[in-house]
Chains A and B, each alone.
Chain A
Amino acid sequence: MSDLHSSISWRRPVAEAAVLAALAALPLVSQDYLLLLTQVAVLALFTLSLELLVGQAGILSLGHAAFFGIGAYAAAFLALAGWEEPISGLLIAGGIAGLAGLAMAPLVLRASGLTQLMVTLCLGLMLHEAASRGRDWTGGDDGLSGFLNSPVLGLFEFDLFGVTGYLYALAVLGICFAAFTLMRAAPFGTALRGIRQNPVRMAALGTPVGARLAQAYALSAAMAGLAGALMAETTQSVALEALSFQRSAEVLIVLILGGVGSRYGALIGAAVYVLARDWLSALSPEYWLGWLGLLMMAVVLVAPRGIAGLLARVRLPRARAKTEDRA
């Protein structure tokens, strides 16, 4: 019943704002890791969208890259067509991905368990095939590049060092994380977790189960689309890989690695994953994937609820001792 205790106290938002401010001040100190950290922010946002789906609503997906890719291509199309303003481009791309999610929701929500996983997998693969064949539109295997967004807010130009891209991505992630936190605490989030635990009972309590799940699916798709668009705008390119099965599997791995159902799981998972990937691929360019695999296996054996779960387990005894003191 941890849900009851997760009511937001004043201390958490302050601590989170402090971390965000520290990250935003980073370019003043060093510009070495900005591109890498931008990747972390994009992946964290993408993972957060999957957390909304898997961790909150209990909908399984092995094809979430579909929406990431739709957002990325939409942002690229907009910029190529001359709509170069980044913020509106981001929102439009997210909206398109959300609509796609709304359209696919009835198909995905009909199934459950393995079947649901397979429907999402095959829908994702269909989209990947379509983009791969539609060479005239998507550039096929070459992807899209050579577009440029105008300065953010008309002031900050996307620079070579990635300072603007980094701060822009950080801001989008911060806003989405705040929105996710509010949604999680709102009746909508509570209803989703109730549906995950017992859909029949929630229906009996008068919750429109189908509608809530469809809304969650569309919201998650929109957030994934934002992440894709963010990647397109900060890297000035989109590759076919954005829609691939590997990316769908990757985001699921990151979420489980970080911890499903935890607020920080997506953020921790994305940071650990990208940094571990960067470190391992420098250490052993050919076999880094194998080392990553070992890390994944170790997490399952050592930390069943992901890294966030492990941290909570370390912290929990202290918190418990404190409440006992008070009592």
Chain B
Amino acid sequence: MSGLPIVLFDGTVYGMLLFLMSVGLSVTLGLMGVVNLAHGSFAAIGGFASVVLVHRLGMPFLLGVPLAALITAAIGGVLEAVLFRRLYRRGPLDQVLFTIGMVYVWIAVSTRIWGAGQQPADLPAFLQGQIALWPGAEVGAYRLFLLILGGVLAAGIFFGLERTRFGARVRAAQSDRDMAGGVGINVDRLFLLSFAIGAGLAGAGGALAIPVIGLDPSFPLKYLAFFLIVVSLGGPGTVTGSLVAALIVGIVDVAGKYYLPGAGGFLIYALVVAMLIWRPQGLVART
């Protein structure tokens, strides 16, 4: 398979990964109003945790990745309780300084532990090689797996936010934090949980992304612009918006590399500027 179909396929897979890694940032920005530039660190934590579990300890891939996501969620929860909670009432500039500082600290810590190089990606045999969707249409087995898993996780996030009591509480706190507290919702615990879930999703995304985009200590800084683009393009606080934006960014970026390799990232940045001028509130404005 080549040409347009493969561009759409690879772009969608890339978009799914971007969605997983940035949806938590969108929720924290919409819910708690924190410009968390350190969010990419959670993706990196998940990635390194999975490398340790799968590559060093020899755990099966399908067990190691969810466990890495859980570890990331736990770390995210602790950090929310200890550090991020202090930032909620602060201005965006303080949040920027603090969270960029966290990224620097994380990069130094992870370089100290794992070295500055690229991390190895171990895939089980059944996820290697190509799979024929139909005769003549071969795609990478792992990318197909990512596409399906990403779809399932996205559906789970929608279900969780729209159909569960927890999701209703999150949405209530998003529209009016004080009022939500007034009707008996434990807002502090809600923030802790949603922050941990967002971190866990980013951790899963980071672990799953290693075979596609790699992992090294500077990962959180390298992809920071992409996470921010997804969130602002989609509109902070909207999961639908993040998904649509992530898919657009993924497909445009892959298409640009395929058809206009000389343009580099130029295309995607120009698109973002144009779209933000067209819809400053994001594709899906929160009501």
Chain A residues at the B interface, C-beta cutoff of 8 Å: 54, 60, 107, 110-112, 114-115, 117-119, 121-123, 125-126, 129-130, 132-133, 245-246, 249, 252-253, 256-257, 260, 286-287, 289-297, 299-301, 304
Q: Are B225 and A293 in contact (CB under 8 A)?
A: no
- Among listed B96-104, B120-128, B141-149, interface-contacting one: B96-104
Report chain B residues within 8 Å CB of A126: 266, 269-270, 273
Q: How far is the CA of A111 from the CA of B280 in the complex (A)?
A: 6
Measured CB to CB, the closest approach of chain A to B229, in angstroms, equals: 7
Tell me the nearest residue of chain A to B262, going by C-beta: A133
Q: How far is the CA of A122 from the CA of B272 in the complex (A)?
A: 7
Please pick, from A123, A129, A300, the residue contacting B97 in the complex, using a CB distance under 8 A.
Answer: A300
Measured CB to CB, the closest approach of chain A to B282, in angstroms, equals: 8
Interface residue count on the B side (C-beta < 8 Å): 45
Q: List 5 A-B contacts (CB under 8 A).
A: A117-B232, A125-B265, A133-B262, A289-B108, A300-B94
Which of A246, A290, A293, A301: most chain B CB closer than 10 A? A293
Measured CB to CB, the closest approach of chain B to A12, in angstroms, equals: 26
Tell me the nearest residue of chain A to B87, going by C-beta: A300
Q: How far is the CA of A133 from the CA of B260 in the complex (A)?
A: 12
Chain B, residues 268-287, CB within 8 Å of chain A (1/0): the string is 01101100110011100000
Report chain B residues within 8 Å CB of A253: 97, 100
Q: How far is the CA of A117 from the CA of B29 in the complex (A)?
A: 14
Q: Are A287 and B111 in contact (CB under 8 A)?
A: yes
Q: Are A133 and B97 in contact (CB under 8 A)?
A: no
Q: Are B270 and A293 in contact (CB under 8 A)?
A: no
**Pairs A-B, 8 closest by C-beta atoms:** A290-B108, A293-B104, A296-B101, A293-B105, A293-B101, A297-B101, A300-B98, A122-B269
Q: Are A252 and B96 in contact (CB under 8 A)?
A: yes
Please pick, from B93, B270, B277, the residue contacting A256 in the complex, using a CB distance under 8 A.
Answer: B93
Please pick, from B96, B263, B277, the residue contacting A110 in the complex, using a CB distance under 8 A.
Answer: B277
Which of A130, A133, A253, A300: most chain B CB closer than 10 A? A300
Q: Are A256 and B94 in contact (CB under 8 A)?
A: yes
Measured CB to CB, the closest approach of chain B to A31, in angstroms, equals: 32
Q: Are B276 and A115 in contact (CB under 8 A)?
A: yes
Q: Are B225 and A121 in contact (CB under 8 A)?
A: yes
**B264: CB under 8 A from chain A?**
yes
Report chain A residues within 8 Å CB of B276: 111, 115, 118-119, 122
Measured CB to CB, the closest approach of chain B to A310, in angstroms, equals: 13
**B56: CB under 8 A from chain A?**
no
Report chain A residues within 8 Å CB of B281: 115
Tell me the nearest residue of chain A to B222, going by C-beta: A245
Q: Are A249 and B100 in contact (CB under 8 A)?
A: yes
Tell me the nearest residue of chain B to A118, going by C-beta: B232
Say whether, besides A253-B97, A256-B97, A129 and B277 are in contact (CB < 8 Å).
Answer: no
Report chain A residues within 8 Å CB of B282: 115
Tell me the nearest residue of chain A to B101, going by C-beta: A296
Tell me the nearest residue of chain A to B95, going by C-beta: A300
Say whether, besides A125-B225, A132-B264, A299 and B232 are in contact (CB < 8 Å).
Answer: no
